[in-house]
Amino acid sequence: MSDDRDNRRRRADLLRLRMQPRRHTLSYRLWLNRTFRKLLAGGVILFVIWLLLLTTTLPTDGRHVLLFFLLIIYLWVSEVFPLPVTALMAGTGLVLLGLRSRDDAFAPYASDAVFMILGSLIIAQGISASGAESLIIRKLLAPFTVSTYRLLGGLIIVSTLMAAVIPDHSVAAIMLPIVLTVIDKTDIRDHPREMVAFTLAVAFGCSIAGLATPSGGARNVIAIGFLQQYGMRIDYLDWVVLAAPITLALMPLLFVTLIFANQLRNRSLDYHLPPAEPLRDRQLLALGILGGTFLLFLTSGRTGLTLGTVAMLGAIAMHVSGVLEWDDSRRRLRWGVMFIYGAALTLGAAMVDHGVAEWLALGIFGLVEGGGELLLFSVIILLGVALTNIMSDGAAAAVLVPITLAVGVAAELELAKVAILTAISTAFAFMTAFGTPPNLIVHASGIPSSADFVRNGVPMVLMAVLVLLAAQRYYWPIALEWTGL
């Protein structure tokens, strides 16, 4: 009997060993098939575009750049490969195709804009690792948990304040558990529309805050990076002067939109958040570094320090002070993000150098020529809104900014206004759950559905577009004169 059991056990083990590689082979084949199907679809699309480009006046090198640009965008959107891998393909492909030199192709991967993103991410890690962010949010939100209207307003205010200086996805990740706690401890859980309004207040609040400062999102850094290629420099304070009033105008509009879209009524909640613990030395130190970095950002125009230099000073201070350990930073930091921004900049520069951006810009300008500045800016904003709701805001800015800047040159517009207008319009990803990281985070809670994003997002987009058009028409001429841009 013992020998029979041993024989059966050996046969079972042998069968498992034989089946294991087959499972791996099957999963590999499935992955390969999905990848092949996506690549095949992309190849067909690009082939059709290539045939259409043969009938245009675009030079051969320009056609190659445009096709390669569309290939990278397709790989990003379809996620055939990891996004950082596709980003590295951009610089490498430009060199292999002879479209840019080695130095020109890879220099944007180490540009000042990229180091600003890197430094900002490290600073955000330090704030999060110290626990200061959660305590500050609890302290700020505590006075607002007495009624539905006050809670809604408090969520918008706190999300906006925090996301203006800390990456929006980090703020949303901290805010959402607090909101869910309030929902669970009150009868809000019996009112689905209220739950939707409160969670969307976090996501949309982070989005409108991110447009207020250069460090608020990738789209802003990309716009600044492209302006530098045109020989223009925008200081941190200049951007705040131009964009922050738009955020302030959108806050009450967001409050009203969420009330009417979700049919909220003001009622008492009678709930108080647990008191936050006193700030410890490590948390005070982290907040001090954040405050010092923000002050240097605001005064960068006078000190002569670039935004990337200031961000890296803050990142270094987080490690030197002991707030953040290098091993933690190395493991948690999303290094691939830098490659994505670098790829966007190098592709945009290639499109400018080979006349692709100018060719596309003249086509767009020709369609709206004679319609005036308002029509042209409206088209730019609507393009930004459309793209940012079907792809990430950073990718939308990477696609549009080099084209809209070329439009600005053709139409003899102020390039700073064009770049900032484009970047801000790509912040209006209110209609889809995948438009921004905060949208994805709150959608993952299972509370707001895709239909909820559409119902709340459409009126918010319409009001945001009107506010942006009004700002560029009435406020920006004064602000641009004051900043000297």
pLDDT value, residue 17: 47
**Rounded to 10 degrees, what is the CA torsion of 94, 99, 103, 108?**
-60
Helices 450-470/236-261 angle, 10° precision: 130
pTM of the model: 0.71
pLDDT value, residue 230: 80
Residue type at position 340: I
Task: Return per-residue pLDDT of the chain as tens, 485 residues.
Answer: 555 655 666 565 555 545 555 555 655 565 557 777 788 888 888 899 888 888 888 888 888 888 998 888 788 777 788 878 888 998 999 999 998 888 888 888 887 777 877 887 788 778 777 877 667 767 777 777 778 898 899 889 988 988 887 777 777 777 787 788 778 777 787 888 889 999 999 999 988 988 888 877 778 888 888 888 788 888 888 888 899 999 999 999 999 999 999 988 888 876 665 666 677 788 888 888 888 887 887 787 678 788 788 889 988 998 998 888 888 888 877 777 778 778 877 887 787 788 887 787 777 767 766 667 888 888 889 888 887 886 667 777 877 888 888 888 877 888 888 889 999 998 898 987 767 778 877 887 788 888 888 899 999 999 999 999 999 989 988 888 887 66
Closest CA to 384 of 281, 455, 461: 461
Cα separation, 80 vs 407, in Å, equals 32
Cα separation, 328 vs 233, in Å, equals 34
For tokens 């909101």, name the residue: 179
Cα separation, 257 vs 234, in Å, equals 33
Output the CA torsion sign for 140, 144, 145, 151: negative
Q: How many CB atoms lie within 10 A of CB 104?
A: 16
pLDDT value, residue 102: 86
Closest CA to 334 of 29, 118, 170: 118
If DSSP codes are grouped into helix, strand and coil, which group holds residue 221? helix
Spatial contact of 326 and 126, defined as CB atoms under 8 Å apart: no
Closest CA to 221 of 125, 114, 294, 352: 114
pLDDT value, residue 456: 93
Strand partners, 147: 268
Closest CA to 293 of 174, 165, 171, 167: 165
- What are the sequence ranges of the domains in the chain? 28-104, 108-483
Closest CA to 398 of 448, 342, 443, 358: 342
